[in-house]
């Protein structure tokens, strides 16, 4: 069976659908979560997906009208706020408390898979894009999905193995 190739128009429509599903999933996960940290992580990720969809829609509108997009402006609009990273803010002070519940582990695992699939989709779209600006947009989104995957991966590690989580975060070492 031949692998389906997406033209730029189809890829942009699929990207919008992917981000819409991400927003819905993360918003619902935040509402259902009983854990404060999980709720904050899912709300953050929903906000990130919202920034992505706004940029993709703006690019798509220009693309369909045959206009050029200001790629740097679109990408800058999707970048996280300046200062400490959102994940650093979420994890600040966690060394003083133990995980209260692992109830969100399955949601984290699903979120991790969702981000992995998003990264794969954007890699494929980037490699097949004809429009250089679309290629740039997808390349940026590959990095964003990878960053989100790492955030979820850190959350999973925190719940499953807090000692290893803090070891990695603090770069602890054994002296001997």
Domain membership of residue 175 (yes or no) is no
Q: Residue-wise pLDDT tens for the chain (176 aa)?
A: 345 677 888 999 999 999 999 999 999 999 988 878 888 889 999 999 999 999 999 999 999 999 999 888 888 888 755 444 444 554 454 444 434 444 668 888 888 989 999 999 999 999 999 999 999 999 999 999 999 999 899 888 888 887 877 777 776 555 54
Alpha helices (H) along 7-82: 8-32, 36-64, 71-78
Residue 3 forms part of a structural domain: no
Q: Decide if 1 is inside a domain.
A: no
Query: Which ranges of 94-160 does DSSP label H, i.e. alpha helix?
Result: 105-128, 132-160
Residue 19 lies in a domain: yes
Domain presence at residue 176: no
For the chain, what is the domain count?
1
Confidence (pLDDT) at 125: 93
Which pLDDT belongs to residue 173?
A: 54
Angle between helices 105-128 and 132-160 (to 10 degrees): 160
72: containing domain = 8-170
Give CA–CA dist 32/112, Å, rounded. 17
User: What global pTM score does this model have?
Assistant: 0.78
CATH number of the CATH domain containing 72: 1.20.1260.10
Could you tell me if residue 144 is inside a domain? yes
Residue 36 lies in a domain: yes
The DSSP output letter for 171 is T
Residue 101's pLDDT is: 45
Q: What is the pLDDT of residue 50?
A: 93
3-state secondary structure of 90: helix
pLDDT at 20: 93
Residue 2 belongs to some domain of the structure: no
């Amino acid at each position: 069976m031949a692998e389906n190739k997406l033209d730029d128009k189809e890829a942009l429509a699929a990207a919008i659908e992917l981000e819409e599903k991400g927003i819905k999933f993360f918003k619902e996960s935040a509402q259902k979560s009983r854990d404060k940290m999980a709720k904050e992580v899912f709300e953050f990720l929903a906000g990130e997906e919202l920034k992505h969809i706004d940029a993709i829609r703006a690019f798509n509108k220009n693309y369909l009208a045959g206009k050029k997009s200001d790629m740097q402006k679109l990408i800058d609009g999707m970048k996280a706020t300046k200062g400490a990273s959102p994940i650093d803010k979420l994890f600040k002070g966690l060394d003083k408390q133990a995980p209260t519940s692992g109830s969100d582990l399955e949601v984290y695992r699903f979120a991790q898979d969702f981000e992995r699939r998003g990264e794969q989709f954007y890699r494929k779209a980037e490699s097949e894009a004809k429009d250089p600006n679309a290629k740039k947009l997808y390349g940026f989104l590959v990095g964003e999905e990878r960053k989100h995957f790492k955030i979820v991966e850190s959350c999973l590690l925190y719940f499953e193995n807090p000692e290893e989580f803090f070891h990695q975060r603090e770069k602890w070492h054994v002296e001997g």
